[in-house]
Amino acid sequence: MSDMKRLLFAASVLVLLASCDKKAQLPSNKYAAVDSTPQKIMEMNTMLGDMEEEDIKKYTENSGKDFRVTGTGVRIWIQPKDDKAKGDSVRYGDLLEVNYRVKLTDGTVLYDLTGRDADVIEVGKERRQTGFAEGLTNLRVGDRAIIVVPSILAYGALGDREKIPPRATLVYDVISVAKTSRNR
């Protein structure tokens, strides 16, 4: 029995020595050993973005309104005024009182910020709503408009964790825009 233990011990030592001879081979890129998950995620995002773009096109076409498209993909329709008088242009940094409703493209109202609940917004300071800020800067004081914002320029992949679902295209039905000096 002791011969068997010695033989086993000797074999173990030989295996250990043989494995020490070889240097560990690490990949030069720590992600090289991982599958192409980043590529798959990019492909999925592209596909979802294309699907959202198709939904936005259907919404704007079915509305019967002539939406203008910005370079980022925000759609804006401004209600024509009867008179030629227009208010001041909205700019980044302006403090505005805005009456609006936030909807999904199926018409579901998520937030109603009208009347006494009107929102006071410093344009461009609401990072999560960059598309809405961009839309507002295309308006003048007194305008009524519809601003359609792709999810990536609104609340993105997570939504607002209250009423806005993940990856939601948002429709801002802007009822009125006025400059103000009052804070929230």
pLDDT of residue 111: 95
Residues 114 and 99: beta-carbon distance below 8 Å: yes
Query: CA torsion sign, 111 to 114 to 119 to 123?
Result: positive
Domain layout of the chain by residue ranges: 68-179
Coil vs helix vs strand at 18: helix
pLDDT of residue 49: 87
User: Per DSSP, what are the bridge partners of residue 177?
Assistant: 98
Kindly report, residue by residue over 18-50, the tens digit of the pLDDT.
666 555 555 555 555 556 688 888 888 888 888
Q: Which CATH class is domain 68-179?
A: alpha beta
Q: Stretch 61-82: mean pLDDT, rounded?
A: 92
